Amino acid sequence: MHTVVVGTSGVTASDVLAVARGGARVELSGEAVAALAAAREIVDALAAKPEPVYGVSTGFGALATRHISQELRAQLQRNIVRSHAAGLGPRVEREVVRALMFLRLKTVCSGHTGVRPEVAQTMADVLNAGITPVVHEYGSLGCSGDLAPLSHCALTLMGEGEAEGPDGTVRPAGELLAEHGIAPVELREKEGLALLNGTDGMLGMLVMALADLDTLYKSADVTAALSLEALLGTDKVLAPELHAIRPHPGQGASAANMLAVLKGSELTGHHQDDAPRVQDAYSVRCAPQVAGAGRDTIAHARLVAERELASAVDNPVVLPDGRVESNGNFHGAPVAYVLDFLAIAAADLASIAERRTDRLLDKNRSHGLPPFLADDAGVDSGLMIAQYTQAALVSEMKRLAVPASADSIPSSAMQEDHVSMGWSAARKLRTAVDNLARVVAIELYAATRAVELREGVTPAPASRAVIEAVRAAGVAGPGPDRFLAPDLAAADAFVREGKLVAAVETVTGPLR
């Protein structure tokens, strides 16, 4: 099994994906263990002094003015975890919780939190045992960390609360730890606070969304090219020299992908046939501009994610010179903004894909295709309601594009009076990404059927490869009406699993 070694300088996106989705094992580097021990010595020295130090010998948040005596500090750390584990709502997905735990471990191993090495090792042991704390949908405002979600994870380390075992059964966390030979941690000064004060949940969801969107944007380039081909559009608008004079990188990449898919097609460029056109509709002609803007948004979000993956997010933090300083690095604004931005881009990509699908189904705009791509229009409804489903998905995505990060709400007796709502931005982005895959799948379903209905003219080799692969995956081609939902579900899986991109790349080579 793949192993990810966590050091002091952060982790990569591929590390997060390996642990969250691939079940990779986690190990602490010798460097990390040494840094943990050194920072802990600083915290222990400060804990022994009579002067109060925030997070070490005081209360938290709006209660930070109280100096906590030594005999109450262990109780204080337990209490902050128990009281902050206040989430409600549906359970969060296993991959999100694993990413959350792993990224918290990343910050702990930086040597800036003051957590003991044995606590970090227990975090790794829980991940390696396949134990997943029960974390709920609601409880984070994206400031002072993803507090409730991280607290539910910390509760598991203490042997309390509920967790899911490797067999998928939810049981008391203490039982699961015992079965795997993991001793519950006894938290000491600052450790409870350090385990729940980070942007790890929103960051983990950002990393996974970026991976999914990379596949979906390539898929959307393919379906846009198939729709252009089915509509007898022109590929001249994809010429590199046209995109070079407006040098947005994403736009150039999307145009190049579409051009590669269409290479060798006999269907493109029929503007002066029986239904002459000067130029194609925006949804066809401007596909690279819209998808390209989304690609550039992804590039910016990836830069933010890389910076955050290299960060140590905690409050207070232990500095190399021995100071323990309060700070505001736990504020999720940088991550929240790009999560919202990605939801906007995804909604727009879905919107333009839906417009192309509608054009394929409308006999007045499809340049000779049968109404709704039906076998016997009137007797058969064809893909009429598939487009309804696509429209409903797009409409929801437009609502999900409303920014969460602009909706700060004060908390903690006005001590935490401006929050990022980054967790909420991440949660709605996950739904938007799921819906985008479905929208692209419906365009794929319509466009492949439309290309096949253009009898007597040869589509591009890449298009033929897609059609062969999607039919082999159980997605039916033209013909009389049939139970459509299973076909659409199969098309969705085909897109979501990267099989559409893989089919094209057998002809084109790697897409950009």
Q: Which residues are marked as active site?
A: 54
- 337-367 burial code (b ≥16 CB/10 A, e <16): bbbbbbbbbbbbbbbbbbbbbbbbbeeeebb
Three-state SS for 341? helix
Contact 57, 34 (CB under 8 A): no
The total of other beta-carbon atoms located within 10 Å of residue 229's CB is 26
Determine phi and psi for 183, rounding to 5 degrees: -80, 135
**DSSP label of 270:** -
Please state whether the peptide bond connecting residue 459 to the residue before it is cis, i.e. omega within 30 degrees of 0: no
Rounded to 5 degrees, what angle do the CA atoms 36, 48, 52 make? 100
* 284 φ/ψ angles, rounded to the nearest 5 degrees: -95, -50
Q: How far is CA 67 from the centre of its chain?
A: 41
CA-CA distance, 197 to 111, in Å (whole number)? Answer: 15
Token reading at 496: 């979501």
Give residue for tokens 């003991």. Answer: 116
Beta partners for 362? Answer: none
Q: State the residue for tokens 């209360």.
A: 59
Phi-psi region of 464 (alpha: psi -120 to 50; beta: other; left: phi over 0): alpha
- Distance between CA atoms of residues 183 and 168, nearest Å: 21
CB atoms closer than 10 angstroms to residue 490: 17
